Amino acid sequence: MTDVKLGVLLWSQATDWPSFAATAQRVDELGYEHIWTWDHLYAIFGDPY
């Protein structure tokens, strides 16, 4: 039987980059297999900063 590998989807729209990076690092430390985000690196609505 194959091992189940879990990942996490992080949204970049409602956070700043330092928080996003810290969260991604924590997800990695917790041992998740992969981290996903979408291809809009800048907010498509509102002011991200």
**Domain extents for the chain?**
1-49
pLDDT-flagged residues of the chain (< 50): none
pLDDT value at residue 8? 94
Question: What type of residue sits at position 21?
Answer: A
DSSP summary character for residue 40: -
Report how far residue 27's alpha carbon sits from residue 19's, in angstroms, rounded to the nearest whole number. 12
Query: What pLDDT does 41 receive?
Result: 63
- Whether this prediction's pTM lies above 0.75 is answered by no
Helix (H, G, I), strand (E, B) or coil at 9: strand
CA 49 to centroid of chain Cα atoms: 18
